[in-house]
A and B are shown apart, each in its own frame.
Chain A
């Protein structure tokens, strides 16, 4: 049997060990530091400064955060965007993930024909550019020349049609559903892969035990892919804060109507880069980005401590 690595490294001269560590860990550390840690720290540092119209910066401590959360001019759009993010997230959790799980379950049934075809078709939107998806749905749902109203009329449901993307009450949910439509392929594929990992004999044993396909899914398959489902939930949570492009391409930076679709991504964009009459304010933008970072961190910590520790992975 080979010697354990810890023995080998213990006997190595320190200089040689350091060289070895540098060789294996160095590249990753350099890249990670350069492109992840440095920007993060720089952003946090920037958020503690303010710049006057002449362009010179001065240190203000946590004043930017006080403004962001305390000054109604800033806090109102901030809380609005955070609330919208929450709705965006809930729609994804309640629609995208269950639909993804259901599609994966259907694909994993024995004897489904054209599996490869369905899999590709359902994954296709994920590979499209968000700009194209946003533009297409804008056209489809347009009350003037969209096919949606005509299609509904054709099946006698014309009265149900409304300019969903234009109404304050429905714009955000509509955009969320467009995003769900585009990205449902990702949870589907991840969960499908996990389902394929379940041994055939286990399913056979359940069949001998008298379970139908539906019960097999709920009592056997679902519990066994729970770790993947929780992973998908985390991905959904993080992606939700990165969402920006769809809203920007469909609604522009103002996230209308009347900021009904404004999420933290678009709010940050307007703050940092400016928009129309609003001047760009990099230091306030950095403060928004820092708050977003801590919200994501909090969410992940809650997940790690409350959920991850209770979930068991099964080796087959």
Chain B
């Protein structure tokens, strides 16, 4: 168990910058999830923490110790790989003890740790089996077991659930959450799946194109996204965006107009007439009604019924589409024109550079 501090971390391959000035501080025992679209540098960051890839610049501290030049095994980390990376020529027991042999753990201690990890992960029956005789979920548990027996200060997971089917993914997710509660260790977990991020994380780090866009608690990211990217990335279906412009300023309030919604009043702050803005509203915050801070009309084109909710896809005045969540059995029919409203706190306004304004 330990804290982790990353300062000004950079990674370049020739002319391409993969990580750009990454700063991140992780507390002892925290479960941090790195999330972002494919290719944004999550794995690269994780591999640099592990010491598998060198940095082009910057420092990594684990438990207060600068580890830049240390080999992976000396950093007090353990890693679970996307493909599990079990040694195919060793049985489960050997897979787990193999690394311990080279770090000078005595045989009795090795056995004790394997027995404990096997009990925790329900692997006792499988210890003598080879990876080829295990199912995907069992392999995944062995990979986690191999990490646990190292008794690392920091666990690193790289998309550990992406090779599992949907049902197994949910149950393994719960197991990982339980494991964290049990071990109380620091975990850095990479995924491109926002549901995993939201359900597992103490804090989420949203990455995009090699930069950190926002760090925060899951619900903070959801309710107060720092910028357009985070707003669009967190939440499913994604937030609706409407182009807008400041039309007038009067008594500390700015009047915001757009082609697809009725005029909106927000605090003027430093806004000027003519500023271009983006207004964002989540599908689940739009309800049918006549009065509200935000009002938009649309013609229903398609309704997706999921059971607990339905999603209506509407054509709005400027010709583009937006989505609204509808609860209950009565869903609007295609062709119907509906008016949707959202309450003030659920309306997000972003300036031209993409930063969210206080409303």
Contact = CB atoms under 8 A, between A and B. Distances in A.
A314 B88 contact: yes
B205 to A, nearest CB: 22
Interface residues of B, number: 25
A204 B81 contact: yes
B79 interface: yes
A205 B88 contact: no
A209 B98 contact: yes
B73 A210 contact: yes
B331 interface: no
Interface of B: 47, 50, 52, 71-74, 77-79, 81-83, 85-89, 98-99, 102-103, 132, 146, 150
Contacts of A211: 73, 99, 102
Given A208-B99, A211-B102, A315-B132, A201 B87 contact: no
B50 A210 contact: no
Nearest to B78: A208
A220 B52 CA distance: 17
B72 A223 contact: no
Interface string A78-95: 000000000000000000
Contacts of A314: 88-89, 132
A211 B72 CA distance: 10
Contacts of B79: 204-205, 208
A220 B150 CA distance: 19
A209 B99 contact: yes
B69 to A, nearest CB: 15
Given A202-B87, A209-B102, A210-B72, 16 more contacts: A199-B83, A201-B83, A201-B85, A204-B52, A204-B85, A205-B146, A206-B87, A208-B52, A208-B79, A210-B71, A210-B74, A210-B103, A220-B87, A223-B89, A312-B89, A316-B88
A224 B88 contact: yes
A215 interface: yes
Given A209-B73, A210-B73, A224 B89 contact: yes
Interface residue tally of chain A, by bracket? 20 to 34
Contact of A210 (B52, B81, B102): B102
Contacts of B85: 199, 201-202, 204-205
A250 B83 CA distance: 53
A316 to B, nearest CB: 7
List of 10 A-B pairs having minimum Cβ-Cβ separation, nearest first: A209-B99, A210-B73, A205-B85, A314-B88, A201-B85, A210-B102, A201-B81, A208-B72, A223-B89, A202-B85
Given A201-B81, A201-B82, A315-B132, A208 B89 contact: no
A181 B73 CA distance: 39
Contacts of A66: none
A207 B71 contact: yes
Interface string A171-208: 00000000000000000000000000001011011111
A115 B191 CA distance: 35
Given A199-B83, A201-B85, A314-B89, A207 B52 contact: yes
Contact of A215 (B74, B83, B102): B102
A199 B88 CA distance: 11
Contacts of A224: 88-89
Contacts of B50: 204, 208
A200 to B, nearest CB: 9
Contacts of A209: 73, 98-99, 102, 146, 150
11 contacts: A201-B82, A201-B83, A202-B85, A204-B52, A205-B86, A207-B52, A208-B52, A211-B102, A215-B102, A224-B89, A315-B88
A206 B150 CA distance: 13
A46 B150 CA distance: 69
Contacts of A208: 50, 52, 72-73, 77-79, 99
Interface in A208-250: 208-211, 215, 219-220, 223-224
Nearest to B47: A204
